Amino acid sequence: MKNNYLNDYMEYLEYQKSYSKYTIKSYEEDIEEFFSFCTKESLNYLDIEYSDIRIYLMYLKEEKKDNNTSINRKLSSLRGFYKYLVNKGIIKNNMFLLVNGPKKAKKLPRYFEYNELEELFKVPDIYTPKGQRDLLILEMLYATGIRVGELVNIKLNDIDKSNRKIIILGKGNKERNVIYGEYCEDILNKYISDGRILLNKNNSNYLFINHLGEKLTERGVRYILSELIKKTSLSKNISPHMIRHSFATHLLNEGCDLLSVQKLLGHESISATQIYTHVTTDRLKDVYYNSFPRAKKEK
């Protein structure tokens, strides 16, 4: 039997915060894990003390052997849940606000080099409906930098083909326009006029359709990408977010300013975009050697 407050919170995340099903499931699992800990330790989760949370963190670190990233994610899930309980008047204080998680190791975003993406783009068979769809998934993720949840929710009437723009419904139900280029335009037009018609057995309004004629899911996109990379010589893993990282990194490497990249990615804060500045060393070297007068000796 599920906790009523947790059920209400999950509905709040889905219908008011417009979180993806994947994110909601992750939150739910984190909170339920804490409930299990409370039951095991004979604690009332509505009457948690600071010391109880410290013991929980020790449990995650020493017994469960969770890494720092995982612990911080779980703390974030619980902060959000307890904030909801405070706002609803169920408890008075959010004790999780007093707790700092372990320091994260600075991790650079993983991304594809352009030649690696070129190899991926050659895999789908554009003479089949699924091949057209799969190539469009690759091209659109890379051309726009959108999240996988945004990708699967695109409908035909969101696309302005004359201006090569798409209206995207992002985090927090916020709309933004993204732009796509000529490579993406070519396969988009081919898919809409050919492959999508054959896949769309149920007259769906969504752009991306699965083999059953239904809206393609986030999980479906991840599966398609993992199958595509198996047909290349690349030894990297792949995810939709890795293509998003590639989009941002390549823009910066080609001289795009950070503020523009922030807007294109749909980040609310520029601090979320700044991580990409750490992966543009090659670009900085080129600028230095081509711009600084004493970087190279004359021959």
Write the pLDDT tens digit of every residue in 17-73. Answer: 888 888 899 999 999 999 999 999 999 999 999 999 999 999 998 999 998 889 999
Identify whether 250 is a catalytic site residue.
no
Q: Which of 83, 190, 267, 283 is catalytic?
A: 267
Band of the pLDDT at 279, cuts 50, 70, 90? low
Q: Which of 147, 196, 245, 250 is catalytic?
A: 147
- pLDDT tens digit sequence for 179-194: 999 999 999 999 999 9
Q: Report d(CA 153, CA 159) in Å as an integer.
A: 12
267 in active site: yes
Confidence band of 1 (pLDDT split at 50, 70, 90)? very low
Sign of CA dihedral 24, 30, 31, 36: positive
User: Pick the catalytic residue: 74, 133, 196, 244?
Assistant: 244
- Sign of the CA dihedral with 218 first, then 223, 224, and 225 last: positive
User: What CATH number was assigned to the domain covering residues 114-285?
Assistant: 1.10.443.10
CATH number of this structure's domain 4-98, picked from the four choices 3.40.50.10860, 3.40.50.10490, 1.10.150.130, 3.40.367.20: 1.10.150.130
The domain limits of the chain are 4-98, 114-285
Q: Is the pTM of this model over 0.95?
A: no
Please say if 83 is a catalytic residue.
no
pLDDT of 282 above 70: no
Give the separation between CA 19 and CA 283, rounded to whole angstroms. 36
Residue 110 annotated in active site: no
Is residue 211 annotated as part of the catalytic site, yes or no? no
pLDDT tens track for 79-105: 999 999 999 999 999 999 998 888 766
Query: Is the per-residue pLDDT at 200 higher than 90?
Result: yes
Lowest mean pLDDT among 187-191, 206-210, 289-293: 289-293
Residue 162 pLDDT greater than 70, yes or no: yes
Render pLDDT for 212-226 as a digit per residue (tens, 0 to 9). Answer: 999 999 999 999 999
* Share above pLDDT 70 across residues of the chain, in percent, rounded to a whole number: 93
Residues 6+ apart with CB under 8 A from 138: 117, 120, 121, 124, 225, 228, 243
Q: Which amino acid is at 62?
A: E
End-to-end CA separation in angstroms for the chain:
78
Which member of 171, 190, 215, 283 is catalytic?
171
147 is catalytic: yes
